[in-house]
Structure 1
Amino acid sequence: MKKYVLASALILASSTAISADYLGLRVGGGLGTGIGDYSLQDIDNSQMSISTDPSISLELGYDFNDIFAFNVKGAGTGFKSTSKSNSNQSKGTIYELALEAELGYTFSFDGDTLVKPYVAVGVVTFDKDTSKMLGENNYAKTGRGAIGVRTILDNGVYFDGRIQSTDFTDKGKGLSAKLDLVTEGRITVGYRF
């Protein structure tokens, strides 16, 4: 019986030591830009299109193990609203806060470099001005999906590249991928503790 207890303790201790390499809090900042030629149709006026500028983001994440992680991201994105009947433009900034669950697998190279391809899904909420533009009285909430790869170096510095798509479907309407999804590429650099 003592041998079983000792063997179990050794297995648990070694698995904890191995998983400790994958645990950690991450903090980073990044830049993103739209991918493809797209424009959103304004809710109140189908003759109005909205295009986005590059975005700046901050993120806080926690890796629970080599598979699961949770992220909180904040971003600011400039946008232009253009009328098709004349060239009047209005500009503004979209502020967002996103909560995401992440699923992937972390591979270890040379015992020091970790690489994790992943998929993430979550919910995004917007500031009041953006929410009004999206036809919501309160803070608008919508879905987001992403695929990406994160590389963590032995000194704790990480690089994260991802492609994400956010649903901007008008309230009460069905999803049209061409008109309602904003797809963005984003690069983040940060530190994992």
Structure 2
Amino acid sequence: MKKTILASTLLALSFGAAASEYNGHRIGAGISNLTLSDNSSFNVPDWKLGNGIKLEYGYDFNEIVGINVSYTNHSDDVSVPDIEHSVNYKSSSLKVDADIGYAFQLDGFAIKPYGAIGLTSTSEDLDTNSSWGNVYGGYSNLHVGMGVRAQLDMGMYADFRYDLGTYDDIDTDYLSFTVGYRF
């Protein structure tokens, strides 16, 4: 009986130790691509806003659940059908979400495919260079995402992620790649 209790205790401790090896803070920086798509009846063409910057902080509780806070900033010239010239569009977004997946431990690194859900707060600035003047706005919306994070045992990681949000008949598609360090 004592051997069974001892073996069960050692087994439970080994699972706890393995899970705790994956927890911790992480910070990273990278690039993000933003596309705005109009899904209303107006048929406005997609605005592909090119690459912007992304800064992120995350905390992994274990091999399954983590939280993320990220900031993205995009700026690009886009064409609008009602205006004969392009407008300068600037967007910055703050996202808070949770990711759920599983980190597969391999020899010297781990790979975690995951799904994410959270909130996005975005501010926009359109410089129309016309009689319309500048247009400022902001919105908050729910977003869902999916991604994969590869992490070396030494702490370096790379994250490839796709997020999708919708507000007022506009779909926001974020595609990002970040590299960072978990400590």
Structures share fold, TM-score greater than 0.5: yes
CA offsets per residue over residues 129-185 of structure 1, 9 Å max, x none?
58x755xxxx52101111111000121100111122122x21xxxx5xxxx212232
Which residue does the alignment assign to 2:131? none
1:17 matched residue in structure 2? 17
Give the CA RMSD over aligned residues.
2.8
The residue number in structure 2 matching 1:127 is 123
Structure 1's 128 and 147: CA in aligned 2 closer, same or farther, altered over 3 A? closer
Taking the TM superposition and a 5 Å limit, the aligned residue runs for 1:174-193 are 175=169, 180-193=170-183
1:27 aligned partner, one-letter code:
I
Structure 1 residue 48 displacement after superposition: 6.9
Query: Partner of 2:87 in structure 1?
Result: 90
Letter paired with 1:150: R
2: distance between equivalents of 1:32 and 1:129?
18
Unpaired segments of 5 or more residues in structure 1?
Answer: none
| Structure with greater proportional strand content | 2
- Residues 49 and 8 from structure 1, CA distance in 2 versus in 1: closer, same or farther, beyond 3 angstroms? same
2:9 partner SS: helix
Deviation at 1:102, TM superposition (A): 0.5
Aligned mates of 1:64, 1:101 — CA distance in 2: 11
Q: How does 1:1-193 map to 2 (within 5 A)?
A: 6-34=6-34, 39-40=37-38, 51=47, 52-110=49-107, 112-127=108-123, 129=125, 133=136, 140-167=139-166, 169-170=167-168, 175=169, 180-193=170-183
The C-alpha deviation readout for 1:39-90, integer Å capped at 9, x for no partner, is 448x9xx697672231211010111111111100111111445331342332
The alignment partner of 2:22 has SS state of coil
Identity of aligned residues (%): 31
Q: Could you tell me the TM-score, scaled by structure 2's length?
A: 0.80
Question: Following the alignment from structure 1 to structure 2, what is the Cα–Cα distance between the partners of residues 141 and 119?
Answer: 20
